[in-house]
């Protein structure tokens, strides 16, 4: 006996196997991301006051780059619509159009990841500084004339690192104070305050990386997990578009099913982002 | 009924514990009745319906609806235990706190790997200021050495503390490292010590004696040795101890 | 087809040749096979080995409990060589090793032994056969699922040998302890535990997707929902439990992993002081979040442990009473109910973490509610015995013993489920007694029953009845001698996870003697597993040959395939005409009417 | 082109072609939704609750569009609805109960910045 309903739907359920499979898988993914969202809410609501500079609520929000995030959302939405078009093209027996649509999708996916890594880098080079005097800033640092960053690996500084490296002082370029929602922009403050800070005066120094604050921890964790989904999805779609598309010639219906299933996953990835974007960037 | 004896519980030395023991007893009574009923039926069936005594099986089997009544019965009894006993007892434990009129004494308990510390407000009734920057091995509560209120605080570092008999005791349970569990078997009190939270429990000891504090949550390699103890004593004995302790002061730990 | 004489291997191979134009080599046939039966057997063997291993860990722990701080005879010095003097010093097990063994015993038993055996092995081998399917819906996924499991197991085991040793914070791995128990090492046992768990979770998720799809999609013609054997129902619900309950633990596992490796504080609150100095982390996390996410899996997981066993027991009882299961429908609805409710009772493990009245009322109410369908399932099985003509073979003995053993375990769940009584019993040996009664003499007996029952299907030979009965009576006796005294210890207030068996506390003095007693009983239990192991391996080669494809004269579809079933299972597509347990139908020629028998 | 390709093509051609405009509409609606959310954010409502509610409302609509049209959920089979209904139910259970559980605590329980009780 052969395994039935790999291509044709089973009469009483009206579904072929892979479709049941992918929806079940997505169900578990819903719970996976749902658990992370619960964690996000719990951590945020439970955040204690007075841990983050210049923000009454200790949750450092408003630090992410909204224009870039918005653009990335659009990129992902575009890729989502092109996947449906690719599937529709196959249904209409237009393989060339299918391929074009898929290529656009994959390019969007890679574009999304590139933009995201750019954003990541921005965070890895951005610092939070608290002085023993109680003053607190965010900004960029320069150590021994170098801007430590993500790319030259392992050179993200914190206080402990400064001490072990015996760095005596760092140059700190503070961000201009940013208007918080509901606050007026204060024009009188200088744009960029540049200062020399002695290591001995520092109470806390760290980049905007996971260990620095639960917000960054959860931001990086969820977006990285989402990023892996994007990457995985892109790989699978690329496989369908090029080497795997041979199936179109031998088992076209099954191939269409595959594209549908791959598309479902892709839409799900988009769907997660639809919630991630406002939660992380805006609220 | 003497549930303590029947169930093999340890000696009971708190006021609210009686109700808990009774509930434990009733639940076990229910369990026993069900168990005996089922096992009796089971043995009977095995004797009556094995291949030798009953070579031909009956397609239909049981026709009566006895089991439905039984199941409803179990549900009802469970409901009664739940609504009639468990929920009110819990509410009493966590919602109704001894008020000032009850003249309770308050103790802050701090668990650490692997010992119990206790902190009393001292004769002035004011809790000393605490800050993490003062935290040290000798000062687990992080009492501010310059704070006047802290001077007379009573701090028992990893040592036995005393409470008076027949007075409400409120223990606020905290932890400085991992999750521990503050368990007083004789008082029928258990409460996890969760770092970052301070969770109160209360009880009223009725018998003077020395009692053990168990740690009932895995907390590291010396978990099994994390024993504490406290003494329930007469009010006068307590007062003497308290005064002496307070003179040594919260400062005792500051050196 | 039913009750046909054994189809010779020659014929089934011929049949297979119709579809497969090549003869698969050793590797693709036995190691990287996509055939559900081979995968089932792979799961089974691996899981049994882990079961034995988990038991051996426990025997070593019981040695320590019986004779605290005395050298372990014979094995002590060997362990010292292998694991180092941090773990075993002059033959004496150290606290760290005790804790590591405890955590690994729990983890291995639950995630590497029972679930793979109950779900992976029996589910894989039996489910497709029982629904009349040629294989699982996604055979390659099935293979991947096994290898993820295998890899997870390897990672778990390798953690014993890294510096600092295996995870030692309990199978529950509560933060912050799990994050700080072994701070000296960047990659510690806990790290490997978490990586292993993520692999095991992936394995379970793949398996769950596959099982559910198979059951929904690949049922044979005529196999309507109400004609499914109860075992399949149990597997279906189990599949959903795994599918929807595991992801939160996966999320939590990743968070704890990041906490341990990259210094985040998901589960670490602000202001932790360890060894007199403040922990250099940002803080702001919540230790209770871990517990919620863990137990959101943890509770459904315990039903994952029990439901397949219930399914097996149900099959065997129907077969050996020679009558239909009483109240098949109520069984099905109850198991659905249990599955559903098991998602909303989890915080009964957390009553004492500081719960208000409202939320604890919610959770204890659902906990009491979930016991009702369990009572119904057990009652239906009990009532099924009435009017039967009971055959006392080894599978049936184990299945019968399952009932009162699960009963004891389940009943002792009630005082734990009521929060007021749990105040006293929480984290005592009473809890240990409760759940071991459900998982050890409960689930393990169910699984033993299944092994004895389906062994002829897989190998074409019976297991030896005499050895089987010795195994049964010895196990029954010693299981009870091991676990019943734990209730007494628990009632006295003895805490679990005590390296010295609770000797530190004066309150335990009167029950310390039982530690030795239990340990001796555990050795007895071990001794009585030897007949099983001998029986198992001997019967593969020299057990009594079966004389028909349906040796137990059963009704379900797995018995109408050749023995062992070829690739693709059925020679001819089966068609189902009746319910699963049509035994002793009035007027029928024989006392069983197979599901695929026409008229 | 094999025989079955043509078969597949015949089957769904008109059907699918008629959906294409819908997909475009959904696409633009999603873009619009994104713009609205961002725009609303810069308005700054009085209360954070309103901002959150509106943002989540818009996100839900967007999610509905993606799931309903791109993922064809609006015309899906009963079995899938069943699976998803269970999933959503348990998800709500998980979120609501963990959060409720972390806030319904014994009277006088305190959260503290310091570790002190
Ligand atoms: C297969 C596993 C399994 C099963 C089925 C159950 C079933 C139940 N469990 Fe158990 N439980 C565990 C495994 C299991 N449990 C584990 C592993 C732990 C500890 C985890 C840890 O902390 O490490 C635990 C811990 C645990 C706790 C936490 C205790 C604590 O830490 O303080 C609680 C509290 O509510 C509880 C309750 C229940 C209840 C109410 C049931 C109910 O579902 C039971 C319903 C069944 C019945 C009511 C039986 C009905 C039978 C009859 C009426 C017939 C009787 C017949 C005869 C006697 C012949 N369990
Ligand atoms: C499914 C789960 C499961 C199972 C089956 C068992 C089985 C057993 N467990 Fe365990 N146990 C746990 C899950 C389980 N346990 C968990 C979760 C904990 C808590 C851990 C923690 O604190 O974090 C625990 C803790 C625990 C403790 C408490 C330790 C402590 O708190 O300090 C004890 C103490 O005696 C114990 C004993 C036993 C014994 C004697 C068995 C026996 O019943 C074992 C019986 C085993 C067999 C009978 C094996 C048969 C095997 C074969 C026959 C192999 C055949 C092989 C081939 C054919 C190749 N267990
Ligand atoms: Cu502290 Cu166990
Ligand atoms: Cu549970």
Q: Which residues lie at CB < 5 A from ion ligand 4?
A: C 299
Residue of C nearest to B172 (CA): C354
If one compares D99 and A154, the residue with the highest pLDDT of the two is D99
* pLDDT at residue number A150: 63
CB C460 within 8 A of CB C525: no
CB A162 within 8 A of CB A201: no
Give CA–CA dist C193/C190, Å, rounded. 5
Q: Atom 8, ligand 1: which residue's CA is nearest?
A: C413
Q: Is the pLDDT of residue D45 over 70?
A: no
Q: Is residue C581, in this structure, part of any structural domain at all?
A: no
DSSP letter, residue C575 = B
Chain segment A88-106, per-residue pLDDT in tens: 999 999 999 999 999 999 9
Tally of structural domains, chain C: 1
**Torsions phi, psi for B229 (to 5 deg):** -155, 160
Residue from A138, A200, A133, A129 nearest A166 by CA: A200
Give CA–CA dist B84/B95, Å, rounded. 17
Q: Is the pLDDT of residue C589 over 70?
A: yes
Domain that holds residue A136: 127-177+189-206
Chain D CB contacts of C347 under 8 Å are: 97, 101
Residue from C252, C178, C500 nearest A35 by CA: C252
Q: Is residue B253, in this structure, part of any structural domain at all?
A: no
Chain B CB contacts of C383 under 8 Å are: 61-62, 67
* Candidates B94, B130, B175; nearest CB to D106: B94
3-state secondary structure A102-134: HHHHHHHHHHHHHHHHHHHHHHHCCEEEEECCC
CB C317 within 8 A of CB C325: yes
Mutate to test the pocket of ligand 1, among C102, C119, C302, C442 (most ligand atoms within 8 A of CB): C302
Supply C74's token pair. 């014979």
Chain segment D3-25, per-residue pLDDT in tens: 444 444 444 455 788 889 899 99
Domain that holds residue B193: 103-248
Q: Atom 11, ligand 2: which residue's CA is nearest?
A: C106
Average of per-residue pLDDT values in chain A? 86
- What is the spatial order of strands in the sheet that A136-142 belongs to? A194-198, A169-174, A136-142, A127-131, A202-207
Provide mean pLDDT across the span A17-30: 96
* pLDDT at residue number D16: 81
If one compares C266 and C185, the residue with the highest pLDDT of the two is C266
> pLDDT tier at C126 (50, 70, 90 boundaries)?
very high
Residues of chain B with pLDDT under 70: 248-255
Q: What is the ipTM score, two decimals?
A: 0.93
Q: Is the pLDDT of residue C12 over 70?
A: no
Q: Is the pLDDT of residue C1 over 60?
A: no
Nearest ligand 3 atom, CA B178: 1
Distance C118 CA to ligand 2 centre (A): 16
* Candidates D105, D108, D116; nearest CB to B130: D116
* Boundary of a domain, candidates B44, B78, B95: B95
Rg of chain C in Å (alpha carbons): 24
* pLDDT at residue number B153: 86
* pLDDT at residue number C195: 96
**The whole model's pTM is what?**
0.94
Chain segment C557-575, per-residue pLDDT in tens: 999 999 889 988 998 889 9
* pLDDT at residue number D13: 53
CB C424 within 8 A of CB C498: no
Say whether the peptide bond before residue C176 is cis (omega within 30 degrees of 0). Answer: yes
Q: Is residue C278, in this structure, part of any structural domain at all?
A: no
Query: Looking at the structure, do residues A155 and A221 belong to the same domain, yes or no?
Result: no
If one compares A163 and C245, the residue with the highest pLDDT of the two is C245
Q: Does B141 touch chain D (CB under 8 A)?
A: yes
Chain D CB contacts of A274 under 8 Å are: 30, 59, 62-63, 66
DSSP H stretches of helix in C67-123:
75-83, 95-107, 115
Query: Looking at the structure, do residues A149 and A262 belong to the same domain, yes or no?
Result: no
Tally of structural domains, chain A: 2
Taking CB atoms and an 8 Å limit, are B49 and C502 in contact across chains?
no
Query: Looking at the structure, do residues A103 and A222 belong to the same domain, yes or no?
Result: yes
Q: Does D47 touch chain C (CB under 8 A)?
A: no
Q: Is residue C323, in this structure, part of any structural domain at all?
A: yes
Q: Is the pLDDT of residue A219 over 90?
A: yes
* pLDDT at residue number C246: 95
Q: Does D80 touch chain C (CB under 8 A)?
A: no
Taking CB atoms and an 8 Å limit, are C280 and A160 in contact across chains?
yes
Query: Looking at the structure, do residues B33 and B117 belong to the same domain, yes or no?
Result: no
Q: What is the CATH number of the domain that holds C320?
A: 1.20.210.10
Q: Is residue C376, in this structure, part of any structural domain at all?
A: yes
Query: Looking at the structure, do residues B146 and B238 belong to the same domain, yes or no?
Result: yes
Q: Is the pLDDT of residue A53 over 70?
A: no
Our CA-based measurement puts residue C352 at a distance from the nearest CA of chain B, in whole angstroms, of 5
Q: Is residue C583, in this structure, part of any structural domain at all?
A: no
Tally of structural domains, chain B: 2
Q: Does C408 touch chain B (CB under 8 A)?
A: yes
Query: Looking at the structure, do residues A101 and A221 belong to the same domain, yes or no?
Result: yes
* pLDDT at residue number A47: 76
Least confident of C266-275, C391-400, C473-482, D104-113: D104-113
Ligand 3 contacts (CB < 6 A) are B 111, 114, 180, 215, 217-219, 223, 226
Query: Looking at the structure, do residues A148 and A278 belong to the same domain, yes or no?
Result: no
* pLDDT at residue number C225: 95
Q: Is residue C452, in this structure, part of any structural domain at all?
A: yes
* Candidates D100, D104, D115; nearest CB to C271: D115
Query: Looking at the structure, do residues A142 and A266 belong to the same domain, yes or no?
Result: no
Average of per-residue pLDDT values in chain C? 92
Q: Is the pLDDT of residue A165 over 80?
A: yes
Q: What is the CATH number of the domain that holds B186?
A: 2.60.40.420
Beta bridge partners of B210: B231
Residue from A33, D67, A38 nearest C244 by CA: A33
Chain B CB contacts of C588 under 8 Å are: none
Domain that holds residue C517: 13-267+285-560
* Boundary of a domain, candidates B55, B70, B95: B95
- Given phi > 0 = left and psi -120 to 50 = alpha, else beta, which region is A253? alpha
Query: Looking at the structure, do residues A50 and A138 belong to the same domain, yes or no?
Result: no
* pLDDT at residue number B124: 83
DSSP letter, residue C169 = S
* pLDDT at residue number C433: 97
Q: Does B93 touch chain C (CB under 8 A)?
A: yes
* pLDDT at residue number C98: 95
Chain C CB contacts of B143 under 8 Å are: none
If one compares C8 and D20, the residue with the highest pLDDT of the two is D20
- What percent of chain C clears pLDDT 70, i.e. is strictly above it? 96
Q: Is residue B178, in this structure, part of any structural domain at all?
A: yes
Query: Looking at the structure, do residues A154 and A223 belong to the same domain, yes or no?
Result: no
Nearest ligand 3 atom, CA C497: 2
Query: Looking at the structure, do residues A161 and A74 belong to the same domain, yes or no?
Result: no
Chain segment C395-440, per-residue pLDDT in tens: 999 999 999 999 999 999 999 999 999 999 999 999 999 999 999 9
Q: What is the CATH number of the domain that holds A249?
A: 1.20.120.80
Our CA-based measurement puts residue C271 at a distance from the nearest CA of chain D, in whole angstroms, of 5
* pLDDT at residue number A50: 53
**Torsions phi, psi for C398 (to 5 deg):** -65, -40
* Boundary of a domain, candidates B65, B95, B125: B95
* Candidates C216, C354, C358; nearest CB to D109: C354
Q: Is residue B254, in this structure, part of any structural domain at all?
A: no
Least confident of B63-77, C228-242, D63-77: B63-77
Q: Does B169 touch chain D (CB under 8 A)?
A: no
Query: Looking at the structure, do residues B71 and B140 belong to the same domain, yes or no?
Result: no
* pLDDT at residue number A151: 62
Query: Looking at the structure, do residues A55 and A110 belong to the same domain, yes or no?
Result: yes
Chain B CB contacts of C388 under 8 Å are: 49, 54, 57-58, 61
Query: Looking at the structure, do residues B185 and B208 belong to the same domain, yes or no?
Result: yes
Q: Is the pLDDT of residue A265 over 60?
A: yes
Q: Is residue B255, in this structure, part of any structural domain at all?
A: no
Interfacial residues of C (vs D; Cβ cutoff 8 Å): 216, 240, 244, 248, 269-273, 286, 288-289, 292-293, 296, 340, 343-344, 347, 350, 354-359, 362
C-alpha separations of A157 from A143, B135, C259, C279 in Å: 9, 27, 19, 18
């Amino acid at each position: 006996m052969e395994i039935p309903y790999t291509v044709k739907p089973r009469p009483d359920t009206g579904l072929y196997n892979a479709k049941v499979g992918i929806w079940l898988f997505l169900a578990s993914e819903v719970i996976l991301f749902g658990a992370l969202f619960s964690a996000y809410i719990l951590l945020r609501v439970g955040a204690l006051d007075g841990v983050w500079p210049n923000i009454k609520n200790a949750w450092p929000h408003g630090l992410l780059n909204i224009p870039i995030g918005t653009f990335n959302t659009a990129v992902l939405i575009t890729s989502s619509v092109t996947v449906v078009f690719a599937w529709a093209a196959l249904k209409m027996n237009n393989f060339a159009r299918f391929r074009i649509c898929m290529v656009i999708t994959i390019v969007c996916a890679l574009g999304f990841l590139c933009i995201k890594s750019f954003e990541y880098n921005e965070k890895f080079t951005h610092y939070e500084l608290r002085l023993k005097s109680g003053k607190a800033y965010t900004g960029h640092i320069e150590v021994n004339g170098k801007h430590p960053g993500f790319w030259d690996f392992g050179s993200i500084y914190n206080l402990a690192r400064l001490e072990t490296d015996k760095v005596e002082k760092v140059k700190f370029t503070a961000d201009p104070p940013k208007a918080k929602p509901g606050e007026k922009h204060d024009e009188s403050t200088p744009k960029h305050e540049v200062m020399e800070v002695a290591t001995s005066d520092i109470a806390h120094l760290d980049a905007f990386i996971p260990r620095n604050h639960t917000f960054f921890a959860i931001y990086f964790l969820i977006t990285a997990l989402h990023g892996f989904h994007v990457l995985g999805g892109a790989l699978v779609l690329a496989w369908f578009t090029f080497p795997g598309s041979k199936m179109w010639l031998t088992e076209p219906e099954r191939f269409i099913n595959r594209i549908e299933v791959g598309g479902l996953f892709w839409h799900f990835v988009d769907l997660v982002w639809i919630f991630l974007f406002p939660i992380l960037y805006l609220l | 009924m003497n549930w303590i004896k029947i169930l093999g519980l340890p000696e009971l030395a708190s006021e609210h514990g009686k109700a808990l023991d009774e509930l434990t007893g009733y639940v076990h009574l229910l369990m026993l009745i069900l168990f005996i009923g089922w096992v009796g039926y089971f043995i009977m069936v095995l004797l009556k319906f094995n291949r030798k005594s009953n070579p031909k099986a009956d397609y239909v089997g049981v026709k009566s609806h006895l089991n439905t009544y039984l199941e409803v019965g179990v549900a009802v009894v469970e409901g009664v235990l739940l609504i009639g006993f468990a929920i009110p007892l819990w509410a009493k434990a966590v919602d109704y706190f001894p008020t000032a009129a009850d003249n309770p004494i308050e103790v802050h308990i701090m668990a650490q790997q692997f010992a119990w510390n206790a902190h009393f407000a001292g004769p002035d009734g004011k809790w000393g200021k605490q800050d993490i920057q003062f935290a040290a091995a000798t000062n687990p509560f992080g009492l501010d050495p310059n704070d006047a209120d802290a001077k007379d605080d009573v701090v028992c570092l990893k040592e036995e503390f005393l409470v008076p008999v027949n007075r409400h005791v409120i223990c606020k349970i905290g932890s400085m490292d991992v999750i521990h569990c503050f368990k007083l078997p004789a008082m029928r009190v258990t409460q996890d010590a969760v770092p970052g939270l301070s969770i109160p429990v209360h009880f009223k000891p009725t018998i003077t004696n020395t009692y053990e504090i168990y740690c009932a949550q895995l907390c590291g390699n010396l978990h099994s040795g994390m024993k504490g103890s406290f003494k329930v004593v007469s009010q006068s004995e307590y007062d003497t101890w308290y005064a002496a302790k307070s003179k040594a002061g919260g400062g005792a730990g500051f050196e | 087809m039913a009750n046909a004489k054994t189809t010779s291997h020659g014929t089934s191979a011929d049949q297979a040749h119709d579809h497969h134009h090549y003869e698969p080599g050793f590797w693709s046939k036995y190691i990287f096979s996509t055939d559900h039966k081979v995968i089932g057997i792979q799961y089974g063997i691996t899981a049994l080995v882990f079961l034995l291993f988990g038991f051996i860990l426990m025997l070593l722990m019981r040695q320590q409990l019986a004779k605290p701080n005395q050298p372990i005879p014979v094995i002590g010095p060997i362990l010292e060589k292998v694991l180092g003097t941090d773990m075993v010093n002059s033959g004496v097990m150290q606290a760290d090793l005790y804790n590591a063994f405890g955590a690994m015993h729990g983890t291995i038993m639950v995630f590497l032994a029972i679930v793979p055996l109950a779900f992976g092995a029996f589910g894989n081998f039996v489910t497709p056969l029982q629904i009349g399917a040629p294989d699982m819906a996604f055979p390659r996924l099935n293979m991947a699922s096994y290898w993820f499991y295998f890899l997870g197991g390897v990672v778990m085991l390798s953690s014993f040998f890294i510096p600092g040793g295996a995870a030692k914070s309990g199978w529950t791995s509560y933060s912050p302890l799990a994050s700080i128990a072994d701070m000296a090492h960047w990659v510690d046992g806990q790290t490997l535990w978490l990586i292993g768990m993520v692999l095991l979770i992936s394995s379970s998720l793949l398996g769950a997707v596959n099982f559910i799809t198979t059951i929904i999609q690949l049922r044979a013609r005529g196999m309507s929902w109400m004609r499914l054997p109860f075992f399949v129902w149990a597997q279906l619900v189990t599949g959903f439990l795994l599918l929807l309950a595991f992801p939160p633990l996966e999320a939590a596992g990743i968070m704890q992993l990041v906490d341990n490796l990259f210094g985040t504080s998901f589960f670490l609150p602000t202001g932790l002081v360890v060894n007199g100095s403040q922990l250099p982390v940002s803080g702001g996390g919540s230790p209770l979040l871990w517990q919620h996410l863990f137990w959101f899996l943890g509770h459904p997981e315990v039903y994952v442990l029990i439901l397949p066993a219930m399914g097996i027991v149900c099959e065997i009882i129907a077969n050996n009473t020679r009558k239909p299961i009483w109240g098949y429908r109520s069984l099905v609805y109850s198991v659905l109910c249990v599955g559903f409710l098991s998602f909303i009772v989890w915080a009964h493990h957390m009553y004492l973490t500081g719960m208000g009245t409202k939320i604890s009322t919610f959770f204890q109410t659902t906990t009491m509610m979930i016991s009702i369908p369990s009572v119904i399932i057990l009652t239906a099985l009990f009532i099924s015995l009435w009017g039967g003509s009971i055959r006392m073979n080894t599978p049936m003995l184990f299945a019968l013993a399952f009932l009162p053993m699960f009963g004891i375990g389940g009943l002792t769940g009630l005082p734990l489920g009521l929060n007021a009584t749990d105040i006293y019993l929480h984290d005592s040996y009473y809890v240990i007694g409760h759940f071991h009664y459900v998982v050890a003499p409960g689930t393990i007996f169910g699984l033993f029953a299944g092994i004895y029952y389906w062994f002829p299907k897989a190998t074409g030979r019976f297991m030896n009845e005499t050895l089987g009965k010795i195994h049964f009576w010895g196990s029954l006796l010693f299981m009870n001698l091991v676990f019943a005294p734990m209730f007494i210890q628990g009632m006295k207030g003895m805490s679990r996870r005590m390296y010295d068996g609770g000797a530190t506390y004066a309150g335990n003095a009167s029950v310390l003697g039982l530690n030795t007693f239990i340990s001796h009983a555990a050795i007895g239990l071990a001794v009585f597993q030897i007949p099983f192991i001998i029986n198992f391996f001997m019967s593969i080669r020299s057990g009594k040959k079966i004389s028909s494809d349906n040796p137990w004269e059963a009704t379900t579809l797995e018995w109408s395939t050749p023995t062992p079933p070829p690739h693709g299972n059925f020679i001819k597509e089966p068609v189902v005409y009746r319910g699963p347990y049509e035994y002793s139908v009035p007027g029928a020629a024989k006392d069983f009417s197979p599901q695929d028998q026409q008229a | 082109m094999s025989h079955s390709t043509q078969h597949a093509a015949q089957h769904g051609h008109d059907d699918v072609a008629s959906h294409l405009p819908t997909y475009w509409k959904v696409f633009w609606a999603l873009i619009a939704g994104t713009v609205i959310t961002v725009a609303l954010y810069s308005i700054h409502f009085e209360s954070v609750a309103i901002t959150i509610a509106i943002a989540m409302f818009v996100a839900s609509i967007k999610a509905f569009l993606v799931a309903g049209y791109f993922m064809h959920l609006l015309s899906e089979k009963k079995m899938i609805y069943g699976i998803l209904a269970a999933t959503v139910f348990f998800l709500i259970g998980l979120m609501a109960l963990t959060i409720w559980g972390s806030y319904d605590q014994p009277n006088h329980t305190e959260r503290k910045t310091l570790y002190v009780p």
